[in-house]
Amino acid sequence: MRRSARPFWLWSRRAGKASDKGLSVNGSRGQFSKSRQRLSGKTSIQKLYGCRDVADVRKGTRGTVMKFRKRFYASAREFATDILYLTRNTRWLSSGNLNGAISPAFRERLMLAVTAVYGCRYCSYFHARQGLKSGVSQQEAAALLAGSMETCPPEEAVALLYAQHWAESNANPDAEAVERLEHTYGTEKAKAINLVLRMVRVGNLAGNLWDYFLYRLSCGKWGN
């Protein structure tokens, strides 16, 4: 006498247990055959992408997304906005007004304050070196890159705090901060400060964008 067919729910249950053990159902008779063991999440990520740590790669609905903590240009429009701002003030910069408005040491302190927020490694090295040449002490440069203003001249404190806020707000400072800057230093000097901040922003975000490409290409081994 022919045995009745097994109910579907029983096959589903057996198949579920088999998949947990790395097995697969083969044929209608319910015989199980060994299949390739699936690699664990960490092992598969390392094997496919060569990453040292699973934290370097995150699986999403659109594929593999890399984690990158530095800020960079997210769009061509954002980059064009900064370049256009500098282009509009080319004559003012070329006439020497920038050097007349703020000293080289003050300029480098502003650039170091912004670099501390954006974290570009190239700008950190370059402006720390330029700062030392311009009269900024090694202690000041290290403190600014750490986000501290304690060692800086008191008369520059308002501008340096503004630079930090300006970078953290993605070049969109509060109206009160802008007003205080102009009230403290005057319109002409405030304009020079904003130009310095815009210039160093371009360098930082462009440098971080390059590091982002390196990070993606190397799966997190370079650029971070």
User: The CATH number of the domain where 167 resides is what?
Assistant: 1.20.1290.10
CA atoms within 13 A on the CB side of 189: 17
State the pLDDT at residue 198: 95
Q: Domain containing 21: what range? A: 8-38
Instruction: Let me know if residue 65 belongs to a domain.
Output: no
Instruction: Note whether 181 and 89 are same-domain residues.
Output: yes
Q: Is residue 35 pLDDT above 80, yes or no?
A: no
Instruction: Let me know if residue 57 belongs to a domain.
Output: no
Nearest Cα to Cα of residue 157 among 197, 191, 184, 188: 184
Q: Is residue 42 pLDDT above 50, yes or no?
A: no
Q: In this predicted model, which residue has the larger pLDDT, 54 or 186?
A: 186
State the pLDDT at residue 47: 38
Instruction: Let me know if residue 45 belongs to a domain.
Output: no
Nearest Cα to Cα of residue 195 among 72, 71, 116, 83: 83
Instruction: Let me know if residue 67 belongs to a domain.
Output: no
Averaged over 107-120, what is the pLDDT? 95
Model confidence over 139-172: pLDDT tens digits? 999 999 999 999 999 999 999 999 999 999 999 9
Instruction: Let me know if residue 187 belongs to a domain.
Output: yes
Instruction: Note whether 104 and 189 are same-domain residues.
Output: yes
Kindly report whether the global pTM for this prediction surpasses the value 0.75.
no
Instruction: Supply 173's token pair.
Output: 């400072």
Q: Is residue 178 pLDDT above 70, yes or no?
A: yes
Most confident of 58-67, 150-159, 212-221: 150-159
Instruction: Note whether 80 and 34 are same-domain residues.
Output: no
Instruction: Note whether 149 and 99 are same-domain residues.
Output: yes
Instruction: Note whether 95 and 169 are same-domain residues.
Output: yes
Helices (H), the chain: 8-20, 41-49, 76-88, 90-94, 97-101, 104-118, 121-134, 138-145, 157-168, 175-185, 187-218
Q: Percentage of the chain surpassing pLDDT 70?
A: 68
Residues in the chain: 224
Q: At 177, give phi and psi (nearest 5°).
A: -65, -40
Q: What total number of domains does the chain contain?
A: 2
Instruction: Let me know if residue 181 belongs to a domain.
Output: yes
